[in-house]
Amino acid sequence: MTHAHDFDFWLGEWDVFGPKGRQVGTSSITSMFAGQSGGMLHEHWHGAGGVEGRSINGYDEERGCWHQTWMDGTGGVLLLDGGLRDGAMVLEAPGQRITWTQLDDDPDGAEVRQVWESSEDGGATWTVAFDGRYRRR
Pairing of strands 127-136, 77-85: unpaired
pLDDT, tens digit only, all 137 positions of the chain: 578 889 989 999 999 999 999 999 999 999 987 666 567 999 999 999 999 999 999 999 899 999 999 999 999 999 999 999 999 999 999 999 999 999 876 666 689 999 999 999 999 999 999 999 999 99
Query: Distances in Å between the alpha carbon of 59 and those of 42, 130, 132?
Result: 12, 24, 24
| pTM, to two decimals | 0.91
CA distance 135 to 111: 5
| Element spanning 62, H or E | none
CATH homologous superfamily of 8-136: Calycin beta-barrel core domain (2.40.128.20)
Tell me the sheet residues that pair with 69: 56, 79
